[in-house]
Structure 1
């Protein structure tokens, strides 16, 4: 891929999701990524379903455009190969449990002495410091411990996981942000740095309204379904055939909504005339709105609201979301190639840059150790 990170070499010591997601972003932005995997086993996610012809679609969705070499970092000969690759690298990304790479001689202090310009990024469950630093963590563990599951789901429901692995993905995103900031810093100082990203920290960082409510008011937020805790109307409402999301985020939008629904008097009612009042009386307002919305289908309401520029939308399933013409227009479904499967569709890169073309085809998906000969020839 052509991009702003072209000619940078990333050594990818990661597996499963948080690290591979980060290095996929770097690859999409133009970096060359060499994925170093455990011999015979490879990235754990190679064994995660769903499968196409015995190949993991999960793995393929995260590792397009990367090169693969299998190395045992406990083996002296393999360590020599790894050192030669590392000597030419710009970035090392790893998501081992803290302390693991130190045992193999590749902790930050050891690597920094040998390669002072190298940026070394570590993403782990709890980070490199604190009482929990040595514990392993998976996505749902940090969703729970980070408070996210306590505000997800319907009131009085059982604990509900967010429907995607947001614990891993946010950590991958923050790691990529940190790496790009470190690259800019290196331009000024000529030195690399260590980046320590904790999955739990990232969950705390994205709590936005929930954490503000607690720290400012000492209120402990609870699940509210689709409803926003301080903006109204801002949730899913029943229509004749399904649900519609309405996000009237200010008083003028609410007035426009009431006019479209042919009940302008509602916006003048003291119980609903400003956002604070609406938030206090949301249960009553929802009954009023849903009584009116029940007369027509979601698609009919969406069409009319879009004309008036009232923020709204249907609730799509994954098929509908992926096949949305807007998603297609933004090139958010792209293709990669696997030599056994052929073309494989996957999610595109949401970062669009004026200087670089957002290609419809991404790099090939690597088999375990596929690029060994090429890499050895280049680096040894």
Structure 2
């Protein structure tokens, strides 16, 4: 980790963060990890970001009671400064307008047009500050017939199609276990902002980034989306199976489950060798991946029956020796407690009100400008006075 390293990719970049919940905060946490100064604006009328109340669990306060740091809030809000500001208050709004004048980036996730009454919308701020990068995140985007509909991760997963692909073949549509539409939208927002920064640095010109949960979710249907566009055939739910590769699935073992991901025909032959089922490799129905796709209903029961006789560890050991992709289905304690997770700093510790906070680490490994873990998730309004000092220290540019 690089908490004391003065170098960071986004040193000197100032972010006015008007977002809440998960998509926007995911983006601004990434920017903060990369060294940007992120001022997170929270509404005092509601007690701050909605996710502060999305618990338990909560980090304990100094007195042992629950603090305002829910685990959900902490997952997307490190490396930020919390400012309590009411947009309807003229003095608070003037403070935010002054911050916008000093900022490189503004990010918000209000409903389209929701910031116009407060003069913090992209048309107003980008006209005043031509070099400003302004990112708007909403459920459906700033245009289109659904622009005014609210956007939540579950609705985005439903509208954008991913739920129709997720779940058991004979079960109901199923959302992904975490808010993946929000998270991926935050990732796309980060990419767009970094691209806009490069353009701004080259030309002096800022721009508006219009991003929606549904747009980004449709984009990451990836191969299944293009499968449909190419064939005209709707994909079906396959549980853990793959639409284009067989066998690529989770199988029951004598003592649990194992993942087998056979990526090519040579791997399939080695897999059959492990199973002592040379007949499967020799069967012309199964010799190639297109054939295995066509005859998956005949092949998979044979594989499942063979693997049930083996323990999970024996399967993993045997297939790894034969260079066939294989792996466990870890619970979070095993995943985050593994030697691999420790070696890669998958879990980091930051100071909390009653002891260390254990958080998920940033996966980026940058050799020259490593990510920083400098500021733990902030208590509500903890940095309001610091913002006022920041704004008074130097006159904002016109």
What's the TM-score bracket when you normalise by the shorter of the two chains? over 0.9
Could you tell me which residue of structure 2 aligns to residue 351 of structure 1? Answer: 364
Matched, 1:254 2:268: yes
Q: 2:13 aligns to what?
A: 8
Matched, 1:134 2:151: no
Aligned to 1:185: 199
Which residue among 299, 311, 325 is the counterpart of 2:313? 299
- For 2:266 and 2:8, the matched residues in 1 are separated by 42
2:34 aligns with one of 23, 29, 32: 29
Aligned mates of 1:65, 1:188 — CA distance in 2: 27
Evaluate the alpha carbon distance shift between residue 238 and residue 146 of structure 1 in structure 2; reply closer, same or farther with a 3 A threshold. Answer: same
Q: Deviations over 1:214-236 (max 9, x none)?
A: 11111111111100011111111
Is contact 1:143-1:167 (8 Å) kept?
A: yes
Is structure 2 residue 389 aligned with structure 1 residue 377?
yes
| Distance (whole Å) between structure 1 residues aligned to residue 40 and residue 82 of structure 2 | 5
Q: C-alpha displacement at 1:358, in angstroms?
A: 5.1
Determine if the alignment matches structure 1 residue 245 to structure 2 residue 252.
no
Q: Which runs of 5+ in 1 are unaligned?
A: none
Contact 1:61 1:347 in 2 (8 A): yes
CA, structure 1 residues 310+355, in 2 after alignment: closer, same or farther (shift >3 Å)?
Answer: same
1:163-242 correspondence runs (5 A): 163-242=177-256
Conserved? CA contact 2:93–2:118, under 8 Å: no
Give 2:304's aligned residue. Answer: 290
Distance 1:265 1:362 in 2: 59
Displacement of 1:362 after TM fit? Answer: 4.3
Shift, 1:342, TM fit: 2.3
Aligned to 2:292: 278
Alpha-carbon distance in 2 for matches of 1:203, 1:357? 29
By how many angstroms is 1:371 displaced? 1.0
* Contact in 2 for aligned 1:14/1:95 (Cα 8 Å): yes
Name the structure 1 match of 2:354. Answer: 341
1:377 deviates by 1.2
Q: TM-score, normalised by structure 1?
A: 0.96
Q: Which has the higher contact order (CA 8 A, sep 6+)?
A: 2
With structure 2 as the length reference, what TM-score do the two structures score? Answer: 0.92
Distance in 1 (alpha carbons) for counterparts of 2:355 and 2:96: 31
Query: Which residue of structure 2 lines up, in the alignment, with residue 84 of structure 1?
Result: 98
Q: Select the residue among 375, 380, 393 that pairs with 1:368.
A: 380
Alignment: residue pair count:
378
Query: Are the equivalent residues in 1 in contact too, given 2:34–2:371 (CA < 8 A)?
Result: no
* Secondary structure at 1:100 match in 2: coil
Q: C-alpha deviations, 1:216-273, integer Å up to 9, x for none?
A: 1111111111000111111111211111111111111111211222223322210100
Shift of 1:309: 2.3
Q: Please give the alpha-carbon distance, in whole angstroms, between the structure 2 residues aligned to 1:300 and 1:205.
A: 39
The Cα shift of 1:138 comes to: 0.7
**Map of 1:52 onto structure 2:** 59
Q: What SS does the corresponding residue of 1:276 show, helix, strand or coil?
A: helix
For 2:123 and 2:113, the matched residues in 1 are separated by 12
Is this contact kept in 1: 2:271–2:324, CA < 8 A? yes
Task: Determine helix, strand or coil for the equivalent of 2:210.
Answer: strand
Measure the CA separation in 2 of the matches of 1:189 and 1:18. Answer: 28
Displacement after TM superposition at 1:205 (Å)? 0.2
> Could you say which residue in structure 1 is the equivalent of 2:134?
120
Which residue number corresponds to residue 80 of structure 2? 66
Paired residue for 1:110?
A: 124
Alignment partner of 1:210: what SS? helix
Query: Does the CA contact (< 8 Å) of 1:152 and 1:162 recur in 2?
Result: yes
Contact 2:250 2:260 in 1 (8 A): yes
* Equivalent residue number for residue 332 of structure 1: 346
Q: Give the C-alpha shift of residue 356 in structure 1.
A: 3.0
Contact 1:64/1:336 (8 A) holds in 2: no
Aligned to 1:311: 325
